[in-house]
Amino acid sequence: MALFNAVRELFTQKKTIEQIDAEELRRERIKLEQNENRMMREIEQVEQQKEEFFRKGVEGGAQRQKLQIARKIKELDARVKSKDKQLALISRNLRVLSGLAQIKDNQKLLTDLGVSGLLNNMDLDQIQEYVERATVEGQFQMERFAGLLDVLDSGDDLDALNAEDADTQAILEVMQLAGQSDSETAISDGMKQVDDALRTHDSAQEMFS
């Protein structure tokens, strides 16, 4: 939640379009972009860890060790999915900031053209209401995004826990097949099968949820 506090604070005082400072928007956008880049690097690192664990499971070891490796791969995959959801939320916030920046740019253009008096004669409350309806699902209230995060961060339900053994078994089977293969692409092909299996399970859960 701390990731979006700065953006939320930007709107808690119910600022009008004219009261929002363009430099403030730029600073907040830079912060979010930095967080976005950092999270993308973290996802890449976790994906590399998944492949390393899979390679270790393919190369050998006791069945109990392979089972633990399969569990670890699933755990890392869940971490990637969580970060993917956070990236989507960052993207939505960036769209809000970009939309407001465009509004400020338009205001500056009108001022430069000498026609800003037209805006001064308009109802700014009505302008703001229109913008709120027309951009990013019609809301500038970051509380709605916070509520979305609470849903995304909620723990797995009982059905997901019950399905863990099936997922783990699927990873084990792919490991065994990759270990029996002489192909140079056995590891990369196996990782693709693991990801496909986990995504298929997630899709099935969504259908019946």
Alpha helices in the chain (DSSP H): 5-12, 22-59, 63-112, 117-120, 124-134, 142-152, 158-162, 164-180, 186-208
Can you tell me whether residue 113 is helix, strand or coil?
coil
What is the predicted pLDDT for the residue at 161? 45
Is the pLDDT score of 36 beyond 90? yes
Give CA–CA dist 114/136, Å, rounded.
Answer: 30
Q: What are the pLDDT digits (tens) for 105-147?
A: 777 766 666 655 555 666 767 777 777 766 655 454 556 666 6
pLDDT band for position 158 (cuts 50, 70, 90): very low
What is the predicted pLDDT for the residue at 83? 92
Residue 108: alpha-carbon gap to chain centroid: 33
Is the pLDDT score of 27 beyond 80? yes
Domain spans, the chain: 2-155
- How many Å from the N-terminal Cα to the C-terminal Cα in the chain? 26
Q: Provide the percentage of residues in the chain whose pLDDT is more than 90.
A: 23
Give CA–CA dist 59/79, Å, rounded.
Answer: 24
What is the predicted pLDDT for the residue at 48? 93
Token reading at 176: 């065994």
Give CA–CA dist 78/39, Å, rounded.
Answer: 15
